[in-house]
Structure 1
Amino acid sequence: MLDILSSPWATIVATYSPRKIEFFGTLLIQLIFFWLPAIAYTSLDTLLPAFSARHKLQPAPKQPTAAEIKHCTLIALRNQAQSILTSLALIALAALTARPSRFRITTTLPTLPELTRDLALCGLLRELIFYPTHRLLHTPRLYRAVHKVHHEFTAPVAMAAQYAHPVEQFVANTLPIALPPVLLGAHIVTMWVFLAGMLVETATVHSGYDFLGGVARKHDAHHERFTVHYGVFGLLDWALGTDGKGRKRKGD
């Protein structure tokens, strides 16, 4: 697969500046890999109502209304616009200070071993950044001021993945995904693959459906109970006793 893409990728790098490649490529990934799955999950109620009803994790009385989903979509659009403008501002700042792109943009694609290694490291770093950030947002003061917005959806839908206070959008939704590939000095394509995967993941775990191997159950439980499943992959939830299995945490 990487061999097939090598020639067109080399042409792109030879034709466009690194800054254009970084900005427009990242924009395209954000638009495709969040909105397509989010719209698909949200449309199931209309397109396949019987299938949707069978697989909903939460009962009908808890489901958001059409008006609430519309409001959620508008907030998600605002937050994605915020992320896009943040990316544009960082690229513009780098241009003004004559600094290179934060990612490697070369005519060659990353090798499969490099891609696999960096994606695994990015996933681990995201867990290490997101878990404590998410736990911090559940402290009383920050919950009331910031995180309560996201938890308005006790029965989450895919669009609610980016339904958040602007502060949370930056510190919990953007930084834990953007920082790992930056810290690793990853290839831009590696960053895009990681970003695409995380966008599909967050839309999926907020979908409210059980037909996806149960991946939405844990985050659905978090929205219902608030005190379990703070992480992305469950590693730190398991280690720190917040995986909902009743084990005591250290210091309890």
Structure 2
Amino acid sequence: MHTHIRTPLTPPRPAEEHKWAITKPPLFNNKPGVSLLHTLFIISATVVFHKSQYGKDFYTWLNANYTPWEINVYITAAITTVWYFGWGLVFMAFDFIPALNNLIKPYQIQPTTPPIPLKEYLWIIVINLRNWVFVNWPCYAFIGYFCPFKTSYESLPGGFMTFFTYIFALLCEEVGFFYIHRFFHSKRWYASVHKLHHQYTAPVAFTAEYCTMIEHLVVSYCIVSLGTV
């Protein structure tokens, strides 16, 4: 699928040396292990919740009020969409509200790069919405119909399996993303599939999924979902 690459509204900026590669890294990037703390916290919180009475009551309520199809499709779509776009809007606020932007400047890798204009920022969000509506949501329906996840409390994985699933999913994402990303940088696929994603050299949160629908399907959905199937 060939997707038209929108020309940026702002004129091209002259190339700069990668000063961010030789300057002092952001606060948390130079502390080994700190970047994994949030992952370990999420895994631990998941295990604790699943073992708690609150977890049992929640899944009992969920299955009493919704069918497995609704849980696999509608609720999954609602949670992932709100989570992704919610956090994207939070980071957008840090880009456009001066007081918030000043707070994060000491931790930015490219602090001198001019911000993306609002009109272009909104277009990036439109492309994100397109990818979610025409890729993510149909894929949720496909999985919900052909291979739905079990939704009862009794079918929840134990602590070890929960930890293993998270780690396996992370490995699938990291390894799969690297090789598929490298594949899309080939002469055959770069212009038609991957070039759109590199339109902005100083990306913001929403540019994570600013890409063609083919790339979004393969990289953002299939690779990420592989570890949970």
TM score, norm. by length of structure 1: 0.64
CA–CA distance in structure 2, aligned partners of residues 152 and 100 of structure 1 = 36
Residues 53-72 of structure 1 aligned to structure 2 (within 5 Å):
53-72=105-124
Deviation of 1:91 after TM superposition, in Å, equals 4.6
Match of 2:150 among 75, 81, 104: 104
CA–CA distance in structure 1, aligned partners of residues 95 and 137 of structure 2 = 33
CA–CA distance in structure 2, aligned partners of residues 112 and 87 of structure 1 = 28
Checking the alignment, whether the CA contact within 8 Å between 1:80 and 1:162 is kept in structure 2 is no
Deviation of 1:88 after TM superposition, in Å, equals 4.6
In structure 2, stretches of 5+ residues that fail to align are 1-48
Q: Does 1:30 align with 2:80?
A: yes
Q: Which residue of 2 aligns with 1:128?
A: 175
Q: Secondary structure at the match of 1:149?
A: helix
Deviation of 1:70 after TM superposition, in Å, equals 1.2
Q: Which residue of 2 aligns with 1:218?
A: none
What is the root-mean-square deviation in Å for CA atoms of aligned residues? 2.0
Q: Which residue of 2 aligns with 1:50?
A: 102
Q: Does 1:17 align with 2:67?
A: yes
Match of 1:76 among 114, 120, 128: 128
Q: Which amino acid aligns with 1:45?
A: D
Q: Does 1:87 align with 2:139?
A: yes
Residues 40/174 of structure 1: CA separation in 2 closer, same or farther (3 Å cut)? same
Aligned residues: 176
Deviation of 1:100 after TM superposition, in Å, equals 5.0
Deviation of 1:157 after TM superposition, in Å, equals 0.3
Q: Which residue of 1 aligns with 2:198?
A: 151
Checking the alignment, whether the CA contact within 8 Å between 1:14 and 1:107 is kept in structure 2 is no
Residues 185-204 of structure 1 aligned to structure 2 (within 5 Å):
none
Q: Which amino acid aligns with 2:59?
A: W
In structure 1, stretches of 5+ residues that fail to align are 183-252
Is 75-84 or 134-143 further displaced after alignment? 75-84
Residues 120/49 of structure 1: CA separation in 2 closer, same or farther (3 Å cut)? closer
Deviation of 1:60 after TM superposition, in Å, equals 3.9
CA–CA distance in structure 1, aligned partners of residues 173 and 106 of structure 2 = 33
Q: Which amino acid aligns with 2:90?
A: A
Match of 1:115 among 156, 159, 162: 162
TM score, norm. by length of structure 2: 0.69
CA–CA distance in structure 2, aligned partners of residues 161 and 100 of structure 1 = 28
Match of 1:160 among 185, 207, 210: 207
CA–CA distance in structure 1, aligned partners of residues 169 and 105 of structure 2 = 36
Higher Cα Rg, which structure: 2
- Higher relative contact order (Cα pairs below 8 Å, separated by 6+ residues): 2
Checking the alignment, whether the CA contact within 8 Å between 1:130 and 1:172 is kept in structure 2 is yes
Residues 88/172 of structure 1: CA separation in 2 closer, same or farther (3 Å cut)? closer
Name the % identity. Answer: 25
Residues 85/50 of structure 1: CA separation in 2 closer, same or farther (3 Å cut)? closer
Deviation of 1:171 after TM superposition, in Å, equals 0.8
CA–CA distance in structure 1, aligned partners of residues 147 and 205 of structure 2 = 35
CA–CA distance in structure 2, aligned partners of residues 80 and 60 of structure 1 = 32
Checking the alignment, whether the CA contact within 8 Å between 2:194 and 2:211 is kept in structure 1 is yes
CA–CA distance in structure 2, aligned partners of residues 116 and 142 of structure 1 = 36
Deviation of 1:26 after TM superposition, in Å, equals 1.2
Q: Which residue of 2 aligns with 1:190?
A: none
Q: Which ranges of 4 or more aligned residues in structure 1 deviate by more than 6 Å?
A: none
